[in-house]
Structure 1
Amino acid sequence: MSQAVAEPQADIDHTKRAWSMPLEDINPADKRLFEADAIWPYFERLRKESPVHKSYDEEFGAFWSVTRYEDIMAVDTNHHVFSSDWTHGGITLSDGLEDFQLPMFIAMDPPKHDEQRKTVQPIVAPANLKNWEGLIRERTGKVLDSLPRGETFDWVDKVSIELTTMMLATLFDFPFEDRRKLTFWSDMATTASEDVEGGEEAQKAHLLECLEYFTRLWNERVNSETPGNDLITMLTRGESTKNMDPMEYLGNIVLLIVGGNDTTRNSMTASVYALNKFPAEYDKLIANPDLIPNLSSEIIRWQTPLAHMRRTALEDIELNGAQIKKGDKVAMWYVSGNRDTEVFENPDEVIIDRANARRQMSFGYGIHRCVGNRLGELQIKILWEEILKRFPKIEVMAEPTRSSGCFVKGYTYMPVRIPA
């Protein structure tokens, strides 16, 4: 089968191409479409004509693309048939490096998944979030107050990465001065090997550095007479986690870093970008700051910071007319479900008072629903409460640069200016 899409360029009409090319050649995993923000008409056609679509990608091989909201829900809530387990391939279309498998609880089936998830869940319980609100607000205020006025700077680096990395360091009780290592390791874990300088071997080496650093922290915490309230301490004391082998420990650390970093950081950037793209909504927000909590949900819907999650069929099953066979890869395209016109009216637009914004599926459903979703929403909410206290507007000066790949849907650079 031919590779679906040529290198996206400014002069390609992707809408025309998406609706005219042979249906079987559409490949929604083509990372170049994500980098060019050109994926939307391809998903629109799949939802309309082939909602459970046999897709092919040179890197990932054959897989099923599930693109409608209701079908994604059916897969996500049926863990008995659709497995997340790393032994079947895990949660991304990439099967990972053969000799470098990282078990983690999101890539496990019950009962082990449930036991490990329960170990870390208390850190994002409502009582803990309440305790942290003051700290998050204080840090957010300081970061915003440090920003230059009347000159262009990178919002991704100065605000989104800085705020999420500070929060991550707190969750792990990680040495604060080294916190940017967390961002680096998160990027290493989610970037395709061919996009890493030095390739596969360099990627492995960086992740083993992460393991070495966190093993040192584990040894300090496990021997501590005064246990803290942090993720590493929780892992050292959990019945199902205290005897993990090194690669499983690294897998769970990577999961917690990526979960606490990429989703919130990319939604923070998306919020500024979207309000510039839809200026009437920015005016609406300034006129009514009470819309901030709903803005958080709407931005997370519109951005969808993790584009897909993968499952593997444990038995033959029919889904919306498609015959899925045991062993087949299945991609739930959350990014498409969040733009399904059957659920969301005018889904390509940001509407900050959208009545059903909370129906967004960016956090997943069923047993794997994102454990830290409330923390992410809280961080975005506080960010915008503090922005509106300080700045008349934040202006996006040029199109942002988007991250490479079809898993994390994010931004690497976005130039902005705060009027002097």
Structure 2
Amino acid sequence: MSDGNIDLKAEARARAYSMPLEDINPTDIELWRTETMWPYFERLRNEDPVHLHPAEHHEDGAFWSVTKYNDIMAVDTNHEAFSSEPAITIFDPKEDFTLPMFIAMDPPKHDVQRKTVSPIVSPHNLQILEPLIRERIQNTLDNLPINEPFDWVDRVSIELTTQMLATLFDFPWEDRRKLTRWSDVATAGPESGLFSSEDPEIVEAEQKMELFECVDYFSRLWAERVAQPPKGDLISMLAHGEATKDMDRMEYLGNLILLIVGGNDTTRNSMTGSVLALNQNPDQYAKLREHPELVPSMVSETIRWQTPLAHMRRTATRDVELGGKTIKKGDKVIMWYASGNRDEEVIENPNDYIIDRERPRQHLSFGFGIHRCVGNRLAELQLKILWEEILVRFPTIKVVEEPKRVPSAFVKGYESMTVIIPSKN
């Protein structure tokens, strides 16, 4: 990999500490595309950990940045003062395109909808799924080219997560890449390159069109499941669940997007991030090869280090004190999980990637409180099996150029990453 980005990071550090504090804007897409946001978060944590950004920083108005671990935890575990309604991203829902979903709901509706789908990731069900996950990972790895460059994101990370999603939904296998596309489209902005233009109005129109295609496709599957006895897939659970069987089209779409993005982006970006982190820290890669029993710990460290969803939003339901500031009723509060996971007051050497940390599961990547990621154990299981199977096959996986990152301050991920698997001899 090139060292060209070392200069970029040095420049970012100088800029982060020389600009007025009020000018720092962590939603700037370019910071995430170039992975240069870290010094800006460091400065916010040190100088103003509960920071009000002016309205001009974002097209949807002013917002608070919460950047320290314990402050984020205080927000995430207090759903009464910090509501998930009307949205969990900085953007407010459009009046003509509102997508209710249980992650953006408060109790009691949140609780009963979440309970409807949670059996799919119960310990018992994960035990049933494990042999299938292992078999698919083995097949995928066995078909990778040796001594030839290829895109790890496409061939491994996307393929494995999309296969898993297709299984959870009992979705037609031959159309499974539609799930990847819908996941990407649902969270993409004008800078993503996924649409025919960067014009926001065109992007919005195309986004709606594709998401309506998504709900139309899933509505056909819904009709099939309603006509059948209840089964163990997500669509059947929603179609037969007391709390979800009467959802309208937009609420169905909202919950589909939640389940697709939740099951896709987080796992796929951790799968890519693990290869990148081990390449950037060859001593840790050597340690993992020598001690494969560290795989579960390495998985947790990767999920912290990667932080696949950079932030979540809450909205204050009343005036509330946090970090010496008064957050007013109705204010937007952004919990920067990516920053909290690098908080040196809580996590020792947080910028280092250490696969045998004493408490590797101490991170914010899955959230806390009632909205803690419902599929976190499934994500960990997929990553664990992936690395168990990699270690018995390949001496190393080499990242040969800087990955292309997703231009997003919400999904912290990768569009592509070229690797080579050298032959064993």
TM class by shorter chain equals: over 0.9
1:200 — aligned with what?
A: 204
1:67 — aligned with what?
A: 67
The answer (yes or no) to whether the contact 1:193–1:203 under 8 Å persists in 2 is: no
Deviations, residues 167-218 of structure 1 (Å, cap 9, x unaligned)? 0000000000000000000001101256433411011000000000000000
1:386 equivalent to 2:406? Answer no
Q: Report the AA paired with residue 70 of structure 1.
A: N
The answer (yes or no) to whether the contact 2:288–2:295 under 8 Å persists in 1 is: yes
CA distance in 2, matches of 1:249, 1:288: 45
1:341 equivalent to 2:338? Answer no
The answer (yes or no) to whether the contact 1:311–1:329 under 8 Å persists in 2 is: yes
The answer (yes or no) to whether the contact 2:295–2:387 under 8 Å persists in 1 is: yes
Deviations, residues 358-403 of structure 1 (Å, cap 9, x unaligned)? 0111000000000000000000000000000100000000110000
Map 1:9-408; keep pairs closer than 5 Å.
10=8, 13-56=11-54, 57-86=57-86, 90-193=87-190, 195=192, 196-197=195-196, 198-224=202-228, 226-408=229-411
How many Å apart are 1:55 and its aligned residue? 1.4
CA distance in 2, matches of 1:242, 1:20: 55
Q: Report the AA paired with residue 65 of structure 1.
A: S
Partner SS, residue 384 of structure 2: helix
Q: Report the AA paired with residue 403 of structure 1.
A: V
Q: Report the AA paired with residue 224 of structure 2.
A: E
The answer (yes or no) to whether the contact 1:191–1:405 under 8 Å persists in 2 is: yes
Q: Report the AA paired with residue 39 of structure 1.
A: M
CA distance in 2, matches of 1:127, 1:334: 30
The normalised TM-score by structure 1 is: 0.96
CA distance in 1, matches of 2:264, 2:357: 26
CA distance in 2, matches of 1:249, 1:163: 25
How many Å apart are 1:98 and its aligned residue? 3.2
The answer (yes or no) to whether the contact 1:272–1:396 under 8 Å persists in 2 is: yes
How many Å apart are 1:12 and its aligned residue? 7.0
CA distance in 2, matches of 1:391, 1:194: 36
Q: Which stretches in structure 2 are left out of the alignment for 5+ residues?
A: 1-6, 197-201
CA distance in 2, matches of 1:199, 1:258: 19
Map 1:402-417; keep pairs closer than 5 Å.
402-417=405-420
CA distance in 1, matches of 2:37, 2:53: 14
The answer (yes or no) to whether the contact 2:148–2:421 under 8 Å persists in 1 is: yes
Q: Which stretches in structure 1 are left out of the alignment for 5+ residues?
A: 1-8
How many Å apart are 1:227 and its aligned residue? 2.8
Deviations, residues 254-290 of structure 1 (Å, cap 9, x unaligned)? 0000000000000000000000000000000000000
CA distance in 1, matches of 2:331, 2:312: 14
How many Å apart are 1:29 and its aligned residue? 1.1
The answer (yes or no) to whether the contact 2:230–2:240 under 8 Å persists in 1 is: no
Aligned residues: 409
The answer (yes or no) to whether the contact 2:182–2:211 under 8 Å persists in 1 is: yes
The answer (yes or no) to whether the contact 2:27–2:58 under 8 Å persists in 1 is: no
What is the RMSD of the two structures over their aligned residues, measured on CA atoms? 1.3
How many Å apart are 1:59 and its aligned residue? 2.4
| Identity fraction in percent | 65
CA distance in 1, matches of 2:302, 2:21: 30
1:5 — aligned with what?
A: none
Deviations, residues 135-192 of structure 1 (Å, cap 9, x unaligned)? 0000000000000000100000000000000000000000000000000000011012
Partner SS, residue 54 of structure 1: strand
The answer (yes or no) to whether the contact 1:104–1:248 under 8 Å persists in 2 is: yes
Q: Report the AA paired with residue 15 of structure 2.
A: R
The answer (yes or no) to whether the contact 1:155–1:416 under 8 Å persists in 2 is: yes
